[in-house]
Structure 1
Amino acid sequence: MFKAIAAQAHRAVYLADGKIPSPNRDAPNELTGKVDTVLGILAWAGTAAGVAGVLITGAMMAISMRRGEGSEHMGRLGMVLGGCVLVATAGPVVTFVFA
């Protein structure tokens, strides 16, 4: 318990002096390769989900227009497109911050 408190106090002092921490990159190559593979798969899945969301929302809008129903599909489309923007910018933002 005391070690955790001391480590937290050391971190607080370290950040209080204005220095930016610069951790060493010493992860094993096998691990970084696996993490990159998983992140790549998640990026493709997020992109596929965004495309599917846009297609489904467009189909629902077309069906509603055909029936003559007014609905709030534009709000749904906005949320889907917002999610697409988040998925598309996540990788470059992380690369910018940690590279």
Structure 2
Amino acid sequence: MFDLLAVSADTAHHVMQYLAVPDPGSGEAPPGSEKILKILKWAAWGVSAACVVGIFGCAAKMANSHRRGEGGEHAMGLAYVMGACVLAGSASGIVGALI
């Protein structure tokens, strides 16, 4: 009985070895990937600049609304811009967690 269990466990182990998904680790960057990283850095800079411009735009709306005595409709725009800032700042962390 124990021999049958040992053979079954050994067979299952060998079958699982062949069916296992290979783990490539963190991978290796291909030649020329420095150019891709440069483009990503430019895009990150552009997104950061857009976030700053968005916050300036919300500040201008807030000042204009305060001057006219209106309510805080601009608060939702500021919330969207702040959400975009958080998402842009944590993008590499999110991707790293998913990979």
1:27 corresponds to: 30
Larger radius of gyration, structure 1 or 2? 2
Give 5+ residue unaligned stretches, structure 1. 1-16
Q: In the comparison of the two structures, how many residue pairs are matched?
A: 80
Structure 1 length-normalised TM = 0.68
Give CA-to-partner distance per residue, 1:70-98, whole Å, 9 cap, x none: 24111110000000001000123334555
Letter in 2 for 1:19: V
- Residue identity (%): 35
Distance in 2 of aligned mates of 1:78 and 1:26 = 37
Give 5+ residue unaligned stretches, structure 2. 1-18
1:41 corresponds to: 42
The secondary structure found in structure 2 opposite 1:27 is coil
Structure 2 length-normalised TM = 0.68
Give CA-to-partner distance per residue, 1:20-47, whole Å, 9 cap, x none: 642752511x2x1100000000000001
1:7-86 correspondence runs (5 A): 19=21, 21-22=23-24, 24-25=27-28, 27-28=30-31, 30=32, 32-86=33-87
Moved over 4 A (4+): 95-98
1:8 corresponds to: none
Larger mean CA deviation between 74-83 and 62-71 belongs to 62-71
Alignment root-mean-square deviation, CA: 2.2
